[in-house]
Every structure is written in structure tokens, then in C-alpha cells.
Amino acid sequence: MGLWQSWAFVINYAHGHRLPSIGSFAMTQLKNIAFIGNSLPRRCGIATFTTDLQQAVTKAPVHVATAIVAMTDHGHVYEYPPEVRLSIADDNRDDYIQGADVLNAGNFDVACLQHEFGIFGGEDGDHIVELLSRLKMPIVTTLHTVLAEPSPGQRRVLNKIVDRSAKVIVMAEKGRTLLSEVYHVPDDKIEVVAHGIPDMPFSDPTTSKAGLGFDGRSVILTFGLLSPNKGIEVMIDAMPLILKSRPDAVYVILGATHPNLVLDQGETYRESLMKRVKDLGIDESVVFLDRFVDKATLMDFISMCDVYATPYLNEAQMTSGTLAYSFGLGKAVVSTPYWHARELLADGRGVLVPFGDSTAIGREIASILTDDRRRDAMRLRAYQTSRPMTWQKTAERYLALFSEVTLRNPVRPPPPANVVVGTHPAPSEPQLDHFLSMCDDTGLFQHAVYSVPDRSHGYCVDDNARALLLSVALNEPGERLLPEALTSRFASFVQHAWNPDEKHFRNFMGFDRRWLETKGSQDSHCRTLWALGECARSDASASRRAWATGLFSRALPTVQSFGSPRAWAFALLGLDGYCAVSPHDLLAHQIRLTLADRLMDIFHRVEKKGWIWFEEGLSYDNARLPQALILTGLSAERHDYVAAGLKSLHWLTTVQTNPEGQFRPVGTDGFTDQTREVRHFDQQPLEATATIAACYAAWRVGHDITWENEAAKAFAWFLGSNDLSLPVVDVETGSCRDGLHPTRLNENRGGESVVTYLLGLVEFRKLLRASSHALTFAPLRALTA
């Protein structure tokens, strides 16, 4: 096997197969490509990479037009070159929205995002999602950093970016591993493409040394923006040991101080390094060049060095452009084993030393500088291995990916015809194979990787309460009961979730059965009450009905202090069951009216022309709010509750309908959006099931066929009557995907999704059975008067 063939992450960049050759591009007719990221003359690695990639693609033989959308950091102004079509102020959300409009109007075939935490505005850089969610063309994202331990916000933002991307590119196999194991990104969505390098001839350093004033010296080089994580101190401390073997050695530190560091601390860090050099008495052997050089000058500096050093202090460095450039010019590299270096320098292509070990790095550099044969062999090996990394080759690989994603995004097929339920039989009975596979002897798992239960995220009372609801719903005539042991298990989970000290249910539990909190959210508490209320009314076991009634009564008073409208709605749904079996519990009846009045109050305060809703924005489980009012109104004989519920549900169904007449739920991007802008992705099963249930409640008011058809549209969403014309469920196993992204299904099939689908299926079957035997009842009609 040749030298370069052993380098897996260069050769296997397409996960076991090569990307399409550049000759295949003609069929895609790529014309316009937009790059989103930083751009020169901004001084940072992302700016350099974006500019280099854009120029390389522009020079490719396929003759595509390119443009850059440049992020501009707060307080700076840059004289961007003509290829920068648009500049976005990183902290201005409106700029991102306008940027999307410009790109859509520009008829770009593909947008290529360069993502790095810290260059986009908003919480954890979430402003960039505002732009991506509005783009009409496929997105290919290069992830310059993939965090092994992201914060919740960082995970949320990265997942949204990945979801909106047709492909994601990383520059090392470690990135692929992290995306798969930490973020559960499908493997076929990930590509590994090495960092590009200039295509320079293999040359002897002597000529360049003379031109830069280092003739006759053994040169060690580090370049890049200066900051404490680069480990320059370690390399400075190693110099006395190196000088013992090579008194002619000089360590050149080329690069300006990082602009953010200058903004916060001035040049304090650089001055501390210079003082360290002076204290060690090596002033003549360490040179600081405080400048941000152009590419031609940088190539001269790299060419003249004998050893390139990257003594970074943290292994979590996914990409290093400085390492790639030095390696690509055939330099002997000594580095700490951060992720990129560990892969690039393996198998003798460089030397790895422990983090923070000045003795080890000094010993290795001294050995290389005193062994010409070893150094030259290492240089030649690096140069030969790096030939697939040239910017020309990198541009070809990016263009092949651009071609692939445009080919994979054809015009969508026409949607299936709308479902009209009046002449259709009930759907087939629930299939529980996947649901049962998602349960163990503790309860229902939260998440799955594809269809495989994911133990790492444990359990939650939210999902187990829903599972208890499903157990009760399957007690309906025409359905098959769950195994008694399983229903008991869900009830046991709910019981164990109750924290009597806090008068509150816990929510999250680890796989080790340890609670991760003393109490959960208001919503999870009330969703559990909802399950208990239905269990108290309809469970097959009299003993369990008594248990549910007692626990409900103990947990209910806590709700009076809650401020979440959805918590009020979930509690009202539970009270509908509990009050039916506890008619003499005056406190429960009073709390029910109080919560319903709260919903009525916010409805009347927020409702305006064109916005007939309870809140300024739409969020999750939306239809549960009108459902709660309708059911409460029916039970309490309150015409005003029913009227408000019907009015708001009618408006919601119009909002949740796409131009083809299909059900289109509010996407997760619209959650808590106070702009009243309805966003369509990501779509989740929760919304379809909530709509089915609310429409059934509305149908009960007057047996209006309109509500049957609205419920049928929502159920048809599961079967493929949706924006992607793709089935969300596998009806044979009962598994349900976690939702719809803008261009694909979310193939994970977690606990919430499967139990939500089954609840929606059972509710829809219940509606159709009731409809087929319906009679017109005067009392129900009277409520709509």
C-alpha cells in the first residue's frame, strides 16, 4: 500500500466510496454557489478558509459563479473584495433574515455554510438558524468544530444546523465519530474532506531562509493568531534544551494577537511571552513577528522552516489550518496529539508529544534538527501524503457534493389526495412491536438511535405518563389491552416520580434509575395529572383507578401556582376524567374553573384580527389548549368555554394547512416565536395527535363533519400526506419517526414519537367509531347556540 493510500480520512472521504468525478457535474448544471462564513480581510482562520475555498471553486474547470455572505463582527468594518456579495452584522437578527431573502432571490443552486461557534450572533450562535431555515436551496455545512461535550444550547443549535443541511462536512474522522455518537447524525449524511492546502512544489528551505534573513539558522516555526490555547509557553520552555543540541536554532512566532484577545486584554499575553523569553535568556533565539501576513508571504515563511511546531494545549481541536498548510508544504511537524494532528501525523507522518511537556517537545525537535536523514524522510512522506489535499482537489470534492445534493433534491411528487373520512373505514388496529421494544423493566425509553433504544438518555415521566394514557385508551371497545404487567410498570414509574416533599412530580431519570432532579417542569407535572385523571376514569383495573384518584388529589393543588398555559390545559384534560369520578371534590371543581378562566382571560387579551389565539406566538402541543376548553365547557356546561375553544381551534386548523390542503403543523422553529411568524419545520408527531384529539372534542359538540375531515388530515400526515410526501410511520411495526425536517425525515424513532402516534391512531379510530353511530343530541347543539 502506498504512503497516501494508508491515510483513511483522505481516501475514504465519502464513507467507503469516492464522490462523483468532476466530469459528472455537467448533468447538474451548477451555476451559482454561495459561501456563508467569514471572509478576508477579517483576520481569522474561518475567513482564510472561506476565501480559499471560494477561490478554489471559482477556478475549477466547471465555471460556476460564486459569492460570499460574510459575517462581520461587532464594532468592525472591513473593505471586502467584490466576491463578498453581502455583509451580515453578526449580532443583528434582521440581517440574517434579509440575507436569506438575498440568497433566495439570487437563484443560488447551493449554499455552503462554514460553521464555527463564536462567529454568529444570538444564544450559542442561533441567529444563523434564522437564515438557514429560510433558504430554498440545498445547504452543505462544513463544521470546523464538533464539540464532544456541548452545552444544551450548543447541541440544540448544531442539531438545527445539521437538520437543515443536506450534507455536513468535517475534516477528520474524529468529527464523523462525534457527529454519529454524540449528535446521532446519520452516517450517510456525513462526509470527511481534508482541509485544503496550497499546491506548492517540494523545496529546500535554504533559499527562503536567505530571503527572510534566517540564513544559516535551524528554524522552528509556529504561525497563526496568538492566544493562550496555542501552547507557545511550552515551546518557549523547550528552547534551552533544543539550543544545547543546535545552538543555531531559532523559534519564529509568526502572527498577530487574536483580535478578541486584544479587545479584552490588549497585548498583555504577548508581553508575558516576551518576558518569559527574556527570563530564560534566549532573546537571540526567539523571534516574535507581530503581523497578519498575506498568503504569498506565509508560504515563504513555511518554506524556510525546518520544523513546524503546534504545541496546542487541548485535544479538542478538530481542525488546524496551520497544521494542514505546513504538512502540505512538506514540513517535519512536531505536535501535541489534538484530534486533527493525531490523524494527520499518524504512521510516521510527523511526531506527536504529550500535552504541556516541554521536555518531550524539546527532545523531539532537537533530534529532528540533528538528524538530516530522518528530517528529510519525514518531510518527503508528508508532502507525498498531502497531494490529495490541494485546494484544487478539495474544490473538486466540494463540487461533487454540491452536485450530489442538487441531484437528490428533485421536484417533489404531487401530494396524495386529501382524505375524506366519511366513506373510509377505520385505520388498521395499532401495531405495538416498536413500542414494546422501547420499553424495559423500568418503563419507556426517551430516545432511540434510528429504531434502537438509546439507553444513554434514560427515561422521563412525560413519556411514561403518555404510555399510561395509551394503556387507558386501549381499554376502549374495539381495541386490545396492553399486557397488565406493562400498564402496571407505567403506573409504577408515575408513582415513583411523585416527590411528596416538593408536592411535585420529577421528570428525568437516568438509565441507572437515579432521578436527575427533585422536580420537573410545570408541563410535565400536569401531563402526569392528565394521565392520572384518565386512569382514574377508565383504567381496566379498579385498584389502579383508586390509586390514580388518590395520587391525582394529592398532586392537584400544586397546579394553582403554575403560570404555563399548556400546564393549565394538561391539568384541565386530567380534571375532565377526575371530576367525572369525584363529583364531590369541590376543590378540584373550583381549580378546574379557575384554570379555564385563566385560559379565557389570556385568549381575550391576546385575540386580534387575524390572530385568534391564547399567546403572542405558537408553540408545541398547540391544539391541547382549545381541546381543554371544549371538554371543560362540555362537562361544566359553559357555553363560553366551548365557543372560545371552537373559535381558536378553527383558526389553528387554517394556520396548520399548507397550500395543497394538507396538514402542516407549526414547526419547532416557531416555538415561542413572539413575531407571530408561523414556521413550518421541524414538524413533530405531537402536533398531529393533539389536533386529532382536539377535533374529536370539537366533533362531540355538534357532530360537524368538518371536524372529522380536519382530524383525518392530521392523521394522514403520519401516512405521507405532508410537505415531503413521505410516510412518517411504519404501520407494520407501529414505529414513528421523530419528525419532518425541511428536506428529509428524522429517522430516529423515540419514545415520545411512537406513543404519540399510537395515541393519535387510537383517538382517530375512536372518532370514526363514534361518528358511524352518531345521533344528534339537542343538549350538545344547545351549547353552540
Question: Would the pLDDT of 759 be above 60?
Answer: yes
The mean pLDDT value for 285-308 works out to 89
Question: Would the pLDDT of 673 be above 80?
Answer: no
- Residue 14: its pLDDT value, please? 26
Superfamily of domain 4-197+392-407, CATH level 4 = Glycogen Phosphorylase B; (3.40.50.2000)
Grid coordinates standing for 283? 532573546
- Residue 744: its pLDDT value, please? 87
248-265 pLDDT, tens digit per residue, is 999 999 988 887 788 788
Whole-number Å distance between alpha carbons of 683 and 112? 24
Question: Would the pLDDT of 19 be above 60?
Answer: no
The mean pLDDT value for 213-232 works out to 91
Confidence of residue 219 (pLDDT cuts 50, 70, 90): very high
Out of 192-206, 433-447, 613-627, 768-782, least confident range: 768-782
Whole-number Å distance between alpha carbons of 635 and 404? 57
- Residue 309: its pLDDT value, please? 96
Question: Would the pLDDT of 782 be above 50?
Answer: no
Question: Would the pLDDT of 714 be above 70?
Answer: yes
In this prediction the pTM is 0.55
Question: Would the pLDDT of 599 be above 90?
Answer: yes
User: With b meaning 16 or more CB within 10 Å and e meaning fewer, what string describes 685-710?
Assistant: bbbbbbbbbbbbbbbbbbbeeebbbb
Instruction: Give start-end residues of each CATH 1.50.10.10 domain in the chain.
Output: 421-783
- Residue 477: its pLDDT value, please? 80
- Residue 41: its pLDDT value, please? 93
Nearest residue to 330 via CA among 256, 289, 288, 390: 390
Whole-number Å distance between alpha carbons of 140 and 162? 9
- Of 420-424, 440-444, 672-676, which one has max mean pLDDT? 440-444
Grid coordinates standing for 513? 434509575
Question: Would the pLDDT of 602 be above 60?
Answer: yes
Confidence of residue 69 (pLDDT cuts 50, 70, 90): very high
Q: Is the dihedral of CA 435, 439, 445, 448 positive or negative?
A: negative
Contact partners, residue 164, CB within 8 Å, separation at least 6: 129, 132, 133, 135, 139, 741, 742, 743
> Using omega within 30 degrees of 0 as the cis cutoff, is the peptide bond preceding 247 cis?
no
Nearest residue to 670 via CA among 633, 617, 706, 711: 617
Pairwise pLDDT comparison (504 vs 677), residue with the higher score = 504
What are the φ/ψ torsions at residue 386 (nearest 5 degrees)? -85, 0
- Residue 674: its pLDDT value, please? 54
Output the average pLDDT for the chain: 88
The mean pLDDT value for 326-344 works out to 93
The mean pLDDT value for 126-147 works out to 93
- 729-730 and 735-736: which strand pairing? antiparallel
Burial of 672 (C-beta count, 10 Å sphere; 0-12/13-18/19+): exposed
Whether 386 contacts 9, CB under 8 Å: no
Helix (H, G, I), strand (E, B) or coil at 737: coil
Whether 111 contacts 128, CB under 8 Å: no
Whole-number Å distance between alpha carbons of 96 and 99? 5
- Residue 773: its pLDDT value, please? 58
- Residue 771: its pLDDT value, please? 84
Whole-number Å distance between alpha carbons of 607 and 614? 7
Q: Which fold has domain 206-385?
A: Rossmann fold (3.40.50)
Question: Would the pLDDT of 611 be above 80?
Answer: yes
Classify residue 229 by its DSSP letter.
Answer: G
- Residue 278: its pLDDT value, please? 95
Pairwise pLDDT comparison (662 vs 259), residue with the higher score = 662
Instruction: Give start-end residues of each CATH 3.40.50.2000 domain in the chain.
Output: 4-197+392-407, 206-385
Whether 399 contacts 30, CB under 8 Å: yes
Out of 32-46, 551-565, 667-681, least confident range: 667-681
Question: Would the pLDDT of 11 be above 80?
Answer: no
Pairwise pLDDT comparison (260 vs 421), residue with the higher score = 260
- Of 220-224, 299-303, 399-403, 569-573, which one has max mean pLDDT? 569-573
Provide the CA 329 distance to its chain's centre, in angstroms: 36
The H-assigned helical ranges of 386-518 are: 391-407, 433-437, 461-473, 484-497
Percentage of residues in the chain with pLDDT exceeding 90? 73
Nearest residue to 342 via CA among 115, 146, 175: 175
Percentage of residues in the chain with pLDDT exceeding 70? 91
Is the CATH number 2.60.40.420 carried by domain 421-783? no
- Residue 696: its pLDDT value, please? 97
Question: Would the pLDDT of 475 be above 50?
Answer: yes
Contact partners, residue 67, CB within 8 Å, separation at least 6: 32, 33, 34, 35, 83, 84, 85, 86, 106, 108
Question: Would the pLDDT of 1 be above 60?
Answer: no
Burial of 643 (C-beta count, 10 Å sphere; 0-12/13-18/19+): middle
